[in-house]
Amino acid sequence: MQKREERGVHVGEHATGQVERELPDWESARLFLELVRRRSFRAAADHLGVSVNALRNRVSRLEQSLGVKLVTRHVDGVRPTAEGERVFKLAEDMEQLSFEMVHACSRTDSGLTGEVKLAVTEGLGALWIGTKLVEFQRANPKLTVDVHAAMRSADVLRLEADISVQLTRPTAKDLLVVKLGRLHLVPFASQAYVDTYGSPKSLQELVNHRILLQADDAPEAQDFFDNIFRHIRPDGIVAVRSNVSSVHYWSIARGAGIGLLPTYVYAVGAPIVPVNFGVHRPVDIWMTYHAGAAQIPRVRRLVDWLIRAFSPRTFPWFRDDYIAPEDLRREYRGRPLKSPFEGLGDDIRSDIRRIG
């Protein structure tokens, strides 16, 4: 029997007993994005220029509108729940679409002028950021990006750079820190090397090969190599030890031996092949800048661009989870990539065959 107030009402218009949820707005999603990226209410609030309580209330309202718990607190900061991870990825898509709408309406901003100093590790500078900066320059023609690529991390506090992209997490309290993504280092060799000497199937088989090492100031790198050679004496099998990524890469590509490289190098077309013998090293990518610099529009513009340039959502080789090099192209859904190695493959292969 129908309730009196529902008599004569279309069946599709009867009350369901469910409470209507408020649709989440983009501003709340944007605040949630920054909270997850900075893993701290305090750091996110400082970056956004809002109070911690205002940020907490906004995230709580977003949780209520979605009907799920998005984040939990831990001793090391805030972590997204499983539902929070899904909402974070959707919010990243929303962010990307908002950027594209802005760019569609106005490709340039004549009001932004000046210079931004960007410090980046030598490998990422040459083989990733350097190949994509043309996108930033075309959208910001009056801005100058001063790129300093080196193995040593720049001191942002001492104004050596406005922004630093590095592989070690900064510890200074006055800096804002964002995890951009993760590198996955695996062994690579040239095809000519594999054709000539074969491919090792285990660490023990490395004694029959030439190994290329990149040594830097990062202690975790040395620990990693020490672990590889724990049961093998490296004497006589290490062919080249270098302190910069470019020398290390070209030694591999030219057929000098087997060395570790990030999988993104293979994804963008490097003339090398993966060598699978169970070695994989993840390395996080960190962006850091001074809190005051974030209030400068030209610095903010480059910060936002760098977040998009390393987006794990767009570029699968920067995800936390490991994807085999051979599968990266299939996982990629973005625009066609411009390879920095285009035209070099045939020349390198012919040189290696002459050397061999």
First to last CA, the chain: 90
Tens digits of residue pLDDT in 165-206: 988 888 777 788 899 999 999 999 999 999 999 998 887 787
- pLDDT category at 336 given cuts 50, 70, 90 is low
CATH number of the domain residue 174 falls in: 3.40.190.10
Kindly state whether residues 217 and 197 are assigned to the same domain: yes
- Given a contact cutoff of 8 angstroms between Cβ atoms, the answer to whether 305 and 102 are in contact is no
pTM as predicted: 0.64
Kindly state whether residues 67 and 190 are assigned to the same domain: no
Looking at per-residue pLDDT, the higher value among 249 and 24 belongs to 249
CA angle 15, 20, 23 (to 5 degrees): 150
Kindly state whether residues 29 and 116 are assigned to the same domain: no
Q: At what angle do helices 26-38 and 52-66 cross, to 10 degrees?
A: 120
How many angstroms separate the CA atoms of 149 and 161, rounded?
A: 11
Kindly state whether residues 161 and 194 are assigned to the same domain: no
Owning domain of residue 297: 111-180+284-331
Kindly state whether residues 224 and 345 are assigned to the same domain: yes
Kindly state whether residues 270 and 128 are assigned to the same domain: no
Kindly state whether residues 244 and 347 are assigned to the same domain: yes
CATH number of the domain residue 30 falls in: 1.10.10.10
Tens digits of residue pLDDT in 28-66: 888 898 899 888 898 888 878 889 899 999 999 888 888
Residues 60, 62, 68, 70: is their CA dihedral positive or negative?
Answer: negative
Kindly state whether residues 350 and 244 are assigned to the same domain: yes
CA angle 285, 287, 293 (to 5 degrees): 175
Q: Is residue 15 part of a domain?
A: no
Instruction: Give me the pLDDT at residue 321, please.
Output: 94
Residues 319, 244, 154, 225: is their CA dihedral positive or negative?
Answer: positive
Q: Is residue 189 part of a domain?
A: yes
> How many domains does the chain fold into?
3
Number of Cα atoms under 13 Å in the Cβ half of residue 60? 7
